[in-house]
Amino acid sequence: MTADIKLFDRPFFGYLVSRSSIGMANTMLVMALGWHLYQLTGDAWSIAFVGLAQVIPVYAFFFVSGIVVDYVPRIWVVRGCALIEAIAIFGIAMLMIDPTPTLWAVYTLVCLHGTGRAFHGPALQAIVPNIVHEGVLDRAVAMSTTVWNTAMILGPALGGFLIAWFDRSVYFVIAGIILFALLGYALIPTFRVTHTTSRTLRSFFDGMRFVKNQPIILGGLTVDMLMVGFGSVLVLLPIYAIDVLNVGAESLGVLRSMPALGSILVGVILASRPPMQGAGKKLFIALCLFVGSILGFAVSNVYWLSLIALFVYGASDMVSMNIRSAMVHRATPEHLRGRVSAVNMLFIQTSNEAGDFRGGSFAAMFGPVTTGVLGAGIAALVLIWSRWQFAPLYQLNRTSDLKPDV
């Protein structure tokens, strides 16, 4: 029956174009800021504050973003957010023309960019079930994640060369890529969600309440947040490139692309296969590999070994990401998608941006190698703890077994 259902229709194609553009621009921005700020200051705190500036809006607008995504047409939200992000990056580009830019102004514009992302991320997640048929939802999630990770490869790889060629003028290119996403969004029509309840103070907390009452979803989000938040090594890459591996901006771009290369390989496999069986057991194995890859990268001072470790890092994380995304899409009622997506993005961006602040600050205090080893150890402890704290998560057979509680 699902063989006759079209996956690559006009709206979904537009979505993929836009999501890949946004992904490329965001990874290029973070990598470029990490490279230039560390070159300017030689201080890991300068990188840590980029993560802090990005995550503050996520917390500040958490409740508002979910309501907006549920009650305002989601395509309007993503278009507006793309415009805000492009303006912020253009402002950063103007500041970085100065040989000694005012750092507080840079961080302020990074915060503005993060404000756009605080609404953009939940809207991008929530819009997928509106533009694809339920029969191909798992494939759409896998394909969407694969396209995202393709952008994670192209963004840093291209970004490394663009930094080498244009140096600080690269931010103008990044702003242009964000604007290109608006062309893809033009292919997506306006969808309105019908609500059976009114907007009350209680409704602001419905997303959190829903996740709290779903132990499998809560477990998946919590484990990812803690393991990535304490274990991620991506923020350390500019420091490793300059101080440990002694390589240039082009090689940094390749380093930053390797996790996404691992992710896309696994994503293509998942998208071409039937729904995963034994999802919980495979998730645990993937998380064990994730811990091992963090430790391997942390202790490596050989470039090609670091590349291999980062490839495994991305490949194992893709399994977790795919299972987690499918669980959220499958179990969430339509009228709660925006608020649940906001909760999901709160967990994701806490692990990523707050994790970047943690990694940068730890590197400033303990050095990059010690930070990486500590991250691997903490991630291992989180995995052991989650085995009994969220036992149903690792007993899950298929994500399609989860149904919305309406």
* Number of C-beta neighbours around residue 88 at 10 A: 23
- Mean local confidence (pLDDT), 341-367: 83
Task: Return the amino acid letter for 122.
Answer: P
Q: What is the pLDDT of residues 150-167, one digit of tens each?
A: 787 778 778 888 888 888
The pLDDT of residue 301 is: 92
d(CA 327, CA 330): 5
In a domain, 3, yes or no: no
pLDDT-based confidence at 79, cuts 50/70/90?
Answer: very high
| 8 pLDDT above the threshold of 70 | no
pLDDT at 2: 42
Output the CA torsion sign for 295, 289, 22, 125.
negative
Q: Give the CATH number, domain containing residue 96.
A: 1.20.1250.20
Number of domains in the chain: 1
**Residues 50 and 30 sit within 8 Å (Cβ to Cβ):** yes
Mean pLDDT along residues 90-105: 93
pLDDT at 134 (0 to 100): 65
Which residues span the domain enclosing 89? Answer: 9-191+202-401
The residue among 211, 215, 197, 216 whose CA lies nearest residue 343 is: 211
Task: Tell me which DSSP letter residue 405 carries.
Answer: -
Q: Which residue has the tokens 């990188």?
A: 47
Kindly state the average pLDDT of the residues 228-248: 90
% of the chain with per-residue pLDDT over 90: 32
Contacts of 75 (CB under 8 A, 6+ apart): 127, 185, 188, 189, 190, 191
Q: What is the largest CA-CA distance in the chain?
A: 61
- Tens of pLDDT along 25-51? 988 998 899 889 988 988 888 888 988
Residue 66, in any domain of the structure: yes
- What mean pLDDT is predicted for residues 253-268? 84
| pLDDT of 391 strictly over 90 | no
The mean pLDDT value for 340-353 works out to 77
Phi, psi of 248 (to 5 degrees): -95, -170
In a domain, 2, yes or no: no
Has residue 244 got a pLDDT over 50? yes
Within a domain: 1: no
Task: Give tens-digit pLDDT for 170-210.
Answer: 999 999 999 999 998 988 887 766 555 555 556 657 777 88
163 within 8 A of 238, measured Cβ to Cβ: no
Considering the chain, what is the average pLDDT of its residues? Answer: 84
Q: What CA–CA distance (Å, rounded) separates 139 from 143?
A: 6
